[in-house]
């Protein structure tokens, strides 16, 4: 049999993940790790952690940028673009379809039912990824201390980007490097954001989401407070109910949560505005990933960068752990979620079933239960 081209492999994998990667950013990271490290051996665990660390440090949706970096590692510049588009497009199409139904008066109760069914399974998916990642990232006493400190900082409400930068600095200080001043300056620049006052309209919406996509770090979970402040309270483009429904659709569909922008764009101007909002939201991620991807390998040969990334990787594992803790507190509030977690855990850890299939099955079951109930 003739071997497939690496670019084809990238497109095939991330298209499948685009249709099946339910559960939000932490689950996406877990699924990419399982597929690219454990199943296909495209990356070592150390390489994966480096790519995750870089993706965490640049603005935009972390899991989508991780997909782009994996695509670049596997198939060069074409792989970076293909991985990003393949991962984003299925979610954007589904969210756009749901937005069209929503505008025509359809109820989104089924979407919330899917979300309720998926969230307990996400706990199992994240746990499946974090254990091997922790064994790789937390090999030395300094990285263990950094991870614990990062977990405490996250619990205290310190922004994720600040935790990651401080963890990198701590690792540098532990080795007495002189680069911490430069990194600190970059960190301050990264977390400074400017306010914008744009009026509704296709181009203005593109500009708004491009600015938002270039200033948000981490996961799609940070979108809700930003959009609530900007679009509901400051601009009055959406009602609170519309925003909650938009975020629910973004979370309950597979792929990146940032496709919430697609839903918002459709509400404000139909298909053309939905396309502009989507492109605006994700364009900075492509630019930042392209600028950083070519330098990951060089960073690994530069000793201070290695130390900085070691701290960032330890913090990244801690932040995923914090997501697991906070999501667990929110989700495990009754017997049904606990039963779902137990069943999903048995399928993943005992039955060795791909977590992506378990997530997709939970989403399908949640949707069917809602439809039958109505």
Q: For the chain, how many residues are written?
A: 374
Kindly report the backbone phi and psi dihedral angles of residue 261, in degrees, each rounded to the nearest multiple of 5, phi listed first: -60, -35
Classify residue 106: in a domain, yes or no: yes
- Does 212 reside within a domain? no
Given a contact cutoff of 8 angstroms between Cβ atoms, the answer to whether 10 and 83 are in contact is yes
Does the residue 239 lie in any domain?
Answer: no
pLDDT for res 164: 75
215 located within any domain: no
Note the pLDDT of residue 223: 67
Residue 249 burial (CB < 10 Å; 0-12/13-18/19+)? buried
- Confirm if 251 and 20 have CB atoms less than 8 A apart: no
How many domains does the chain contain in total? Answer: 1
Burial class (CB in 10 A: 0-12, 13-18, 19+), 368: middle
> Residue 202: inside a domain, yes or no?
no
Per-residue pLDDT of the chain (374 residues; tens, 9 = 90+): 455 689 999 999 999 999 888 777 777 888 899 899 999 999 998 889 888 888 877 778 888 999 999 999 999 999 999 999 999 999 999 999 988 888 886 666 677 677 678 778 878 877 877 787 788 788 888 888 888 988 888 888 777 667 877 888 888 777 554 344 334 434 443 443 333 434 457 788 898 899 888 876 655 555 666 777 778 877 888 887 777 677 767 777 888 888 989 999 998 889 999 999 999 999 999 998 988 887 776 666 667 767 877 887 788 788 878 878 877 887 788 888 888 889 988 998 888 887 767 877 887 888 787 777 65
Q: Tell me whether residue 357 is in a domain.
A: yes
Residue 192: how many other CB atoms lie within 10 Å: 8
- Domain containing 43 equals 6-192+288-373
In this prediction, residue 218 carries a pLDDT of: 55
Measured in whole angstroms, how far is the alpha carbon of residue 158 from the centre of its chain? 18
The reply to whether 224 falls in a domain is no
Report yes or no on whether pTM surpasses 0.85: no
Tell whether 134 is covered by a domain.
yes
């Amino acid at each position: 049999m003739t071997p497939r081209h690496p670019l084809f492999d990238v497109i095939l994998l991330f298209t499948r993940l685009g249709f099946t990667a339910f559960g939000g950013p932490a689950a996406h990271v877990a699924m990419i790790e399982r597929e690219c490290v454990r199943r296909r051996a495209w990356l070592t665990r150390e390489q994966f952690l480096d790519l995750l660390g870089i993706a965490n440090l640049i603005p935009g949706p972390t899991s989508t940028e991780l997909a782009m970096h994996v695509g670049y590692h596997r198939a060069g510049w074409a792989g970076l673009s293909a991985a990003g588009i393949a991962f984003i497009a299925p979610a954007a199409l589904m969210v756009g379809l749901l937005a069209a139904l929503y505008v025509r008066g359809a109820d989104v109760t089924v979407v919330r039912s899917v979300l309720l069914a998926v969230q307990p399974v996400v706990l199992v998916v994240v746990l499946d990824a974090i254990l091997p990642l922790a064994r790789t990232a937390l090999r030395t006493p300094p990285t263990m201390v950094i991870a614990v400190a990062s977990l405490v900082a996250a619990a205290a409400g310190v922004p994720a980007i600040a935790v990651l930068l401080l963890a990198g600095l701590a690792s540098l200080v532990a080795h007495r490097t002189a680069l911490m001043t430069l990194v600190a300056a970059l960190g301050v620049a990264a977390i400074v954001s400017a306010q914008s006052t744009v009026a509704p309209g296709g181009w203005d919406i593109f500009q708004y989401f491009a600015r938002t996509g270039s200033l948000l770090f981490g996961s799609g979970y940070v979108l809700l407070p930003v959009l609530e402040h900007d679009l509901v309270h400051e601009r009055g483009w959406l009602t609170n109910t519309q925003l909650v429904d938009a975020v629910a659709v973004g979370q309950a569909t597979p792929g990146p949560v940032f496709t919430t922008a697609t839903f918002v764009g459709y509400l404000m101007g139909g298909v053309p505005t939905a396309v502009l909002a989507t492109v605006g939201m994700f364009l900075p991620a492509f630019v930042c990933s392209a600028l950083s991807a070519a330098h990951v390998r060089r960073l690994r040969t530069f000793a201070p960068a290695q130390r900085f990334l070691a701290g960032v990787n330890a913090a990244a594992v801690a932040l995923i752990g914090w997501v697991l803790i906070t999501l667990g507190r929110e989700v495990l509030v009754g017997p049904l979620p606990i039963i779902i977690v137990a069943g999903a855990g048995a399928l993943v850890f005992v039955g060795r079933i791909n977590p992506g299939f378990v997530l997709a099955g939970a989403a399908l079951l949640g949707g069917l239960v809602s439809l039958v109930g109505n």
